[in-house]
């Protein structure tokens, strides 16, 4: 049934067809050339946007990099008060890493469970409806997550998670501090919820792309459903699932509004889960419009934007390598 990429004739490249076309239409001027050129121009808009962004971010962050050098990435302080200005991206980079790590640590196993359940175990009749309901989590606007996080979620976390942890193991350094529900942990957990639809739906697709022969082989030697998943499916889908995780990470790194509303926005180096912090996106959201034009403060914020841009770039390289390759195989085999 499959017509693979290779088998499909490539239009315009087959010499016979090109000759045929040129025979039929005397080549005065070719609308096709215009068409191809214009589609290239539109595609070029994407390149243009990326180039403009890079130039803008690099140029904007030159002043702060000149003033602080590598100190911009290794310093500890972010003080915008006039007279004692000191800027370092480190607290925000670490803040982003910590919240995203929590998001991945909590969100990915949950998403895996969902994906495995929906792809391999659930009764056929509920698979589609359930996966669509889960995907709705991605549709909730981030400002609504923020409101819900502030009014509802943080109180749950404070009362049912942080307070008990604090009571039992509050002496561990990473659980020190009064649990108030506005901290790295809550921000990370809300991000975990927000990445579930991304990770679970891609993992689901990746698992569905595993050839049926893998499962059949396992079933034929008497494996249970779980053993089929573990031996036949997971191993095969591993790199795709890893890619899905990376894409979830990308989501978590860039999320702004919900995190800004609940993380507390204190530029402190993370030491405890129960501590206020800030992420790269949250500090930009918080301070960008307040910074004086032409000031070092503004340059520092753009420098953080540049760092965030580089994060997005790297995450994408990984995701490209991992996930789309797997799905491309599937795309070819389905049609």
Partner 1 sequence: MSSKDVVIRSTGISKSIFIISLVIVAAASGVAGYFVPVLLKQSSSVITINGAGSSFVFPLMSAINANYTASNPNVQVNYQSAGSGAGITDFSTRIVDFGATDAPLTGGSLGQRANITRDTGTPLTIPESIGAVAIAFNVKGVATGLKLNATVAAMIFQGNITQWNDPIIANMNSGVTLPSSTITVVHRSDSSGTSFIFSSWLNSSNAHYPWKLKVSKTPNWAGSTQATYLSLPQNVGVAGGVQQNPNTIGYVELNYVLSTTPQMYYASVLNGAGSAYVLPSLTTSTNAVNNSTASLPTGDGDWSKVTLLNAPGGSSYSIVSFTYVLVFKELSVVPGMTQAKAQAFVNYLWFLVHSGQDQATKLSFVALPFAVVTIDEATIRTITYNSATLHS
Partner 2 sequence: MSNRSFRKFKDRLAYGLGVLCVVLAMFPLASILFEVVRNGLPAISVGLLTRPTGNITDPSSGIGNAIEGTLILIGMTCLIAVPIGLFAGIYLAEFGDNKFGRTIRFLNDVLAEFPSIVIGILAFSIVVVAIGHFSAMAGAVALSIIMLPIVTRTAEESIKLVPSSIRDAAMALGIRRWRTSLSIVLVTAKDGILTGIMLSIARIAGETAPLLLTVLGSGFFFSGVDQPIDALPLRIFTDYKNSNYPSALAQGWGAALVLVVLVLSLNLGVRFLTRGRSTFARARA
Per CB under 8 A, contacts with partner 2 among 43-82 are: 43-47, 49-50, 52-53, 56-57, 60
Beta bridge partners of 86: 79
Q: Does the protein bind partner 2 through residue 42 (CB under 8 A)?
A: yes
User: d(Cα 270, Cα 173) in Å, to the nearest integer?
Assistant: 11
| Whether the Cβ atoms of residue 157 and residue 215 lie closer than 8 Å to each other | no
| Whether the Cβ atoms of residue 268 and residue 91 lie closer than 8 Å to each other | yes
C-alpha 52, offset from chain centre? 22
- Residue 105 CB, nearest approach to partner 1 (Å): 24
Out of 73, 177, 231, 309, the only residue in the binding site for partner 2 (CB under 8 A) is: 309
Tell me, by CB under 8 A, how many residues bind partner 1: 32
Q: Does the protein bind partner 2 through residue 155 (CB under 8 A)?
A: no
Cβ within 8 Å of residue 55, ≥6 positions away: none
- Residue 176 CB, nearest approach to partner 2 (Å): 27
Structure tokens that stand for 205 in this block:
């697709």
218 binds, among partner 1, partner 2, none (CB under 5 to 8 A by kind): none
Q: What is the DSSP string of 176-209?
A: -S---S-SHHHHHHHHHHHHHHHHHHHHHHHHHT
Task: Give CA angle at 63 (53, 315), nearest 5°.
Answer: 40
Q: Does the protein bind partner 2 through residue 325 (CB under 8 A)?
A: no
Out of 218, 285, 296, 300, the only residue in the binding site for partner 2 (CB under 8 A) is: 285
Q: Does the protein bind partner 2 through residue 24 (CB under 8 A)?
A: yes
- Residue 285 CB, nearest approach to partner 2 (Å): 5
- Residue 244 CB, nearest approach to partner 1 (Å): 27
Beta bridge partners of 264: 277
143 binds, among partner 2, partner 1, none (CB under 5 to 8 A by kind): partner 2
Using alpha carbons, select from 171, 183, 175, 180 the residue that is nearest to residue 282: 183
Positions in 208-227 near partner 1 (CB under 8 A):
none
Out of 1, 6, 11, 70, the only residue in the binding site for partner 2 (CB under 8 A) is: 11
- Residue 165 CB, nearest approach to partner 2 (Å): 18
139 binds, among partner 1, partner 2, none (CB under 5 to 8 A by kind): partner 2
The Cα diameter of the chain in Å comes to 85
User: d(Cα 166, Cα 182) in Å, to the nearest integer?
Assistant: 14
Out of 102, 241, 284, 296, the only residue in the binding site for partner 2 (CB under 8 A) is: 284
Q: Does the protein bind partner 1 through residue 173 (CB under 8 A)?
A: no
Positions in 240-299 near partner 1 (CB under 8 A):
260-261, 263-268, 276, 286-287, 289-293
Positions in 116-155 near partner 1 (CB under 8 A):
150, 155
55 binds, among partner 2, partner 1, none (CB under 5 to 8 A by kind): none
Cβ within 8 Å of residue 239, ≥6 positions away: 322, 323, 325, 326
Q: Does the protein bind partner 2 through residue 92 (CB under 8 A)?
A: no
Q: Does the protein bind partner 2 through residue 159 (CB under 8 A)?
A: no
User: d(Cα 321, Cα 251) in Å, to the nearest integer?
Assistant: 17
Q: Which long-range contacts (CB under 8 A, 24 or more apart) does 63-69 make?
A: 63/296, 63/299, 64/296, 64/299, 64/300, 64/302, 64/303, 65/303, 67/296
Please identify, using beta-carbon distances, which residue of 207 and 261 lies nearer to partner 1: 261
Using alpha carbons, select from 194, 196, 201 the residue that is nearest to residue 128: 201
Positions in 176-195 near partner 1 (CB under 8 A):
177-178, 180, 182
| Residues of the shown chain interacting with partner 1 in the complex, contacts defined by CB under 8 A | 1, 3, 77-82, 84, 91, 150, 155, 177-178, 180, 182, 260-261, 263-268, 276, 286-287, 289-293
């Amino acid at each position: 049934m499959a017509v693979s990429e290779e088998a499909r004739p490539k239009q315009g490249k087959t010499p016979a067809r090109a000759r045929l076309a040129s025979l039929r239409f005397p080549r005065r001027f070719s609308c096709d050339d215009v068409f191809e050129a214009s589609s290239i121009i539109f595609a070029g808009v994407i390149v243009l946007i990326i180039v403009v962004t890079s130039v803008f971010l690099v140029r904007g962050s030159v002043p702060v990099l000149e003033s602080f050098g590598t100190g911009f990435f290794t310093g500890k302080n972010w003080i915008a008060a006039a007279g004692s200005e000191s800027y370092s991206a480190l607290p925000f980079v670490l803040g982003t890493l910590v919240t995203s790590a929590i998001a991945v640590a909590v969100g990915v196993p949950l998403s895996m469970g969902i994906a495995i359940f929906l792809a391999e175990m659930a009764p056929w009749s509920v698979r589609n409806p359930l996966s669509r309901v889960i995907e709705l989590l991605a549709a909730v606007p981030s400002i609504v997550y923020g409101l819900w996080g502030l009014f509802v979620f943080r109180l749950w976390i404070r009362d049912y998670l942080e307070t008990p942890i604090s009571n039992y193991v509050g002496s561990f350094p990473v659980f020190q501090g009064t649990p108030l529900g506005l901290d790295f942990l809550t921000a990370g957990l809300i991000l975990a919820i927000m990445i579930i639809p991304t990770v679970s739906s891609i993992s689901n697709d990746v698992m569905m792309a595993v050839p049926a022969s893998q499962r059949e082989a396992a079933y034929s030697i008497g494996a249970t459903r779980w053993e089929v998943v573990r031996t036949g499916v997971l191993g095969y889908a591993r790199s795709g699932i890893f890619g899905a995780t990376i894409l979830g990470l990308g989501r978590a790194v860039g999320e702004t509004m919900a995190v800004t509303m609940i993380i507390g926005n204190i530029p402190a180096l993370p030491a405890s889960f129960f501590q206020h912090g800030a992420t790269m996106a949250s500090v930009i959201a918080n301070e960008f419009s307040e910074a004086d034009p032409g000031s070092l403060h503004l340059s520092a914020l753009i420098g953080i934007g540049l760092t965030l841009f580089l994060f997005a770039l790297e995450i994408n390289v990984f995701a490209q390598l991992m996930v789309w390759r797997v799905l491309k195989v599937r795309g070819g085999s389905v049609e």
